[in-house]
Amino acid sequence: MALILSILSLIFLSGCNLVDGITGKDEETIEDTLHPILLNDKWGFINQEGKVVISPQFDEARDVSDGYATVRTGTLWGVVQADPPKVVVAPAYATVGNFADGLAPAQLPGGQYGYIDGTGEFAISPQFDFAASFSEGLAAFRLDGLWGFVNTTGANAIEPSFSDARLFSGGLAAVETFNGWVYVNQSGEVVLSPSFQVSEAGEFVDGVAPVQTNEGWGYINEQGNPVITPKYDLAGNFSDGRAWVSDDGYIGFIDTDGNFIIPPQFAQVKAFSENMAAVRVSSDWFYISKSSGKIVINQPFDAAESFLNGIARIRFGTEEEASYGYINKSGDYIWYPSN
């Protein structure tokens, strides 16, 4: 996954005291999916209403992606499906990534990476040194130190020739060349090469992408021109029309014109999802509304994740002695914290 996305789960320092009422209705369609829960030191899954639909039996469980979630027993990974909820692939793999376009990168113990389908069969035979998840019909892979892209039939859509590669988004993918980061189309043609050196690049969302230059982080448009001046310490991809940026050690949210919609005041944040964002103030996590920018769920948590289909996972305690629960957008528990 892109460096920019992994940075999102780290960082920063304090300061906000705004509290507002409950957020407005979410305009997005709510669909049934599964959510991992920890009960008696084993992981299982609940549905949207908080009912256990796959009994706790795993040592680790991840969120659903494209209708499937990966689970671990001991050192091996398997797969569960969301509809109907059940185990479809018994743990047998050393690694299984996120599903997209019906496929997931997977590796048998001691083997190379390939791509499995929802039955656990290799739809693309193991042949890569590393493989990322699919996005817009293509997936990045590494072979002999170079990155290329494969399509869902297993054919090389873009031959390995890059030092690094990101996901496709908006028909473009950032790739690293000897001269810095550029963007290619799905034919592998360089279609966007900024006139300045780019040392890190993110994904295009809403027509803009975050890039790092010698001046800091900013955003470019699909013509490669700066539209938000590089000046920030860090910057994330846009989501729900907002992007987080770090300025002098504090984090706020900007719109696609570069205007601060929510001034820098948070220690750490997660991207907006379903009109809500988790934010850390000092050592506690809360939720803010996209429309008001104010705290709308003011119960403090030790950790908080983004909303997914109307509910969000929260944590009390340290990661080693954690209790996990789920809340809805009113802050009510769908699943009371358990461990």
Please give the chain's pLDDT, 339 residues, in tens: 333 333 333 333 233 323 222 223 344 445 679 999 999 999 999 999 999 999 999 999 999 999 999 999 999 999 999 999 999 999 999 999 999 999 999 999 999 999 999 999 999 999 999 999 999 999 999 999 999 999 999 999 999 999 999 999 999 999 999 989 999 999 999 999 988 999 999 999 999 999 999 999 999 999 999 999 999 999 999 999 999 999 999 999 999 999 999 999 999 999 999 999 999 999 999 999 999 999 999 999 999 999 999 999 999 999 999 999 999 999 999 999 999
pLDDT at 179: 86
- Could you check whether the bond before residue 84 is cis, i.e. omega within 30 degrees of 0? yes
CB 139 within 8 A of CB 148: no
Burial bucket for residue 248 (CB in 10 Å: 0-12, 13-18, 19+): exposed
What is the H or E stretch that residue 97 is in?
A: none
Calpha distance 60→77 (Å, rounded):
9
Q: What is the DSSP string of 44-76?
A: EEE-TTS-EEEEEEESEE---BTTEEEEEETTE
Cα separations (Å) of 19 from 12, 37, 64, 287? 21, 29, 32, 10
pLDDT at 176: 97
pLDDT at 2: 37
CB 64 within 8 A of CB 34: yes
Nearest CA-CA partner of 223 in 195, 258, 181: 195
Calpha distance 42→339 (Å, rounded):
8
pLDDT at 4: 38
pLDDT at 31: 64
Angle at 98 (CA atoms; ends 2, 235), nearest 5 degrees = 25
pLDDT at 97: 98
Identify any residues that bridge with 247 across adjacent strands, giving them in sequence order. Answer: 250
